[in-house]
């Protein structure tokens, strides 16, 4: 599959046609490739070899008796792509973007990220026809949560009796849906929506088919991995189904909100004004050799905003609130004026222990960037200290 070897041809491409042709030789892993050039051309091209399976879909194991052999690879030219679309932009966020899955199409995968991040990107780009470097960097760090926006109509229907739930409802309705690290409403929404509301809805569904004891056991097994079933569409669809069927959706909302407030009071204390999502949601950079080298000891826990559904993806792991998924490197490239580009890397610029090993961590967490220079003169002017690598002749070589 020659992983990434196809990138050598991509680096030499000077036109969209050359880029698309080079992408067809890209083996693995599968990627969304985007293109832009100094003439204003833009494009999107999926890349990766897709096996043709005549008798099965690749989802489950099958006997190795010859009946289920691959029949070559899909012709890359038949894969969808975009070149200079009328809307004026291209974007990908790991959402399903391959179009039809009907007869004659090639199956690529069964699991895709929810579309909320892509929809937020589209919403932002459609509202700004001339994106600047600053606007693009801000979009990379965007914490707006679209599922939170979709919950507002249901929350407006609540008439809670308890002080806890009344306060929680008012707080969420006054919130703008931004999962910023300093937001108490963001902490409330994430604890409620991802944990307590999801658990309550799953329990309701399981109890329709199982005894109370069986349902509770199945629920515990299902939610042992807190990341399982975290797709926000599941919660939204279950709520919509309850409303259509005349089931007590508002009761589930109210009870789960009360549980969420109680948990936050345990986790962050009784002072609700002091609550902040970043107090729970944190990123840790722990080098495995840090105990042997103080220079490798990096900030152990830095506040983060966002979630798996925000453009700035800061998804959590199987348990707890620690960020375990997301971009450590971000770039905004000014095509044609390359020295105007910016970038950031975490925890620092250098992988070598020393002054620059972790010096960009705070900027990364804050969403700021540093210049990303291309021209030799600009690099030499900004250079703090050059590192010269001089090869030596190995012993015994003439």
| Mean pLDDT, the chain, whole residue set | 90
- Mean predicted confidence (pLDDT) in 123-134: 87
Tokens 């949601």 identify what position?
A: 281
Report whether 155 contacts 169 (CB < 8 A).
yes
- Of all residues in the chain, the percent with pLDDT exceeding 70 is 96
Nearest to 283 by CA among 270, 299, 269: 299
Task: Give CATH for domain 113-326.
Answer: 1.10.1400.10
Mean pLDDT of 20-36: 89
Q: Are strands 329-332 and 370-371 parallel, antiparallel or unpaired?
A: unpaired
State mean pLDDT over 271-289: 93
**Residue 4: pLDDT band with limits 50, 70, 90:** confident
Between residues 54 and 172, the one the model is more confident about: 172
- pLDDT of 394 reads 82
232 vs 131: which has the higher pLDDT: 232
What pLDDT score was predicted for residue 59? 86
Query: Where do the domains of the chain lie?
Result: 1-90, 113-326
- Looking at residue 398, what is its pLDDT? 65
122-151: average pLDDT: 93
What pLDDT, on the 0 to 100 scale, is given for residue 295?
74
Q: Which pLDDT does position 264 carry in this prediction?
A: 97
Q: What is the pLDDT of residues 215-231, one digit of tens each?
A: 989 988 888 777 666 79
pLDDT of residue 101: 47
**Average pLDDT over every residue of 174-187:** 98
Question: Residue 105 pLDDT more than 60?
Answer: no
pTM of the predicted protein model: 0.91
**Among 23-32, 341-350, 360-369, which is the least confidently predicted range?**
23-32
Mean pLDDT over 315-341 rounds to 92
Average pLDDT over residues 61-77: 89
DSSP-based three-state secondary structure for 32: strand
What does the pLDDT average to over 93-106?
68
- What average pLDDT does the segment 335-350 reach? 93
Structure tokens at 255: 């009870």
Sheet-wide strand order for 370-371 = 329-332, 342-345, 370-371
Average pLDDT over residues 372-393: 91
pLDDT, residue 244, reads 92
Contacts of 158 (CB under 8 A, 6+ apart): 165, 169, 250, 253, 254
- pLDDT for 299 beyond 80: no
Contact 202, 222 (CB under 8 A): yes
**Residues contacting 348, CB < 8 A, separation 6+:** 356, 357, 358, 359, 360, 361
Dump pLDDT digits (tens) for 185-215: 999 999 999 999 999 999 999 999 999 899 9
What confidence tier does 115 reach under pLDDT thresholds 50, 70, 90?
Answer: very high
Which among 59-63, 274-278, 325-329 has the top mean pLDDT? 274-278
pLDDT of residue 159: 93
Eight-class DSSP state of 73: B
pLDDT at 350 over 80: yes
Please check the confidence at residue 273 and state whether its pLDDT lies above 90.
Answer: yes
Of all residues in the chain, the percent with pLDDT exceeding 90 is 63
| Res. 55 pLDDT band, cuts 50 70 90 | confident
């Amino acid at each position: 599959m020659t992983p990434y070897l196809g990138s050598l041809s991509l680096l030499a491409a000077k036109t969209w046609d050359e880029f698309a042709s080079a992408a067809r030789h890209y083996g693995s892993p599968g990627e969304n490739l985007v293109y832009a050039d100094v003439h204003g051309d833009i494009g999107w091209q999926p890349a990766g070899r897709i096996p043709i399976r005549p008798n099965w879909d690749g989802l489950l194991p099958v006997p190795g008796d010859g009946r289920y052999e691959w029949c070559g690879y899909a012709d890359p030219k038949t894969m969808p792509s975009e070149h200079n679309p009328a809307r004026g932009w291209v974007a990908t966020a790991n959402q399903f973007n391959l179009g039809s899955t009907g007869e004659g199409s090639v199956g690529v995968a069964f699991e895709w990220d929810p579309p909320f991040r892509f929809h937020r990107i589209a919403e932002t780009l459609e509202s700004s026809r001339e994106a600047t470097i600053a606007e693009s960097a801000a979009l990379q760090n965007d914490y707006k949560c679209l599922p939170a926006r979709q919950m507002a109509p249901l929350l407006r229907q609540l008439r809670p009796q308890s002080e806890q739930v009344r306060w929680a409802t008012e707080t969420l309705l006054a919130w703008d849906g931004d999962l910023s690290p300093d937001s108490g409403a963001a902490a409330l929404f994430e604890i409620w929506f991802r944990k307590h509301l999801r658990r309550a809805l799953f329990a309701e569904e399981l109890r329709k088919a199982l005894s109370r004891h069986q349902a509770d056991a199945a629920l515990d097994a299902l939610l042992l991995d807190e990341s399982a079933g975290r797709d926000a569409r599941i919660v939204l669809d279950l709520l919509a189904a309850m409303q259509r069927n005349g089931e007590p959706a508002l009761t589930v909302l109210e009870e789960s909100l009360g549980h969420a407030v109680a948990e936050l009071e345990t986790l962050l204390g009784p002072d609700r004004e002091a609550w902040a999502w970043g107090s729970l949601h944190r990123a840790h950079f722990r080098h495995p050799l840090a105990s042997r080298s103080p220079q490798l000891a990096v900030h152990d826990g830095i506040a983060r905003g966002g979630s798996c559904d925000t453009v700035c993806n800061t998804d959590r792991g199987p348990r707890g609130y620690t960020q375990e998924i997301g971009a450590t490197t971000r770039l905004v490239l000014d095509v044609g004026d390359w020295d105007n580009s910016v970038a950031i890397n975490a925890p620092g610029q250098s992988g070598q222990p020393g002054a620059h090993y972790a010096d960009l961590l705070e900027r990364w967490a804050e969403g700021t960037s540093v210049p990303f220079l291309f021209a030799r003169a600009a690099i030499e002017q900004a250079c703090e200290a050059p590192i010269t690598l001089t090869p030596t002749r190995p012993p015994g070589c003439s």
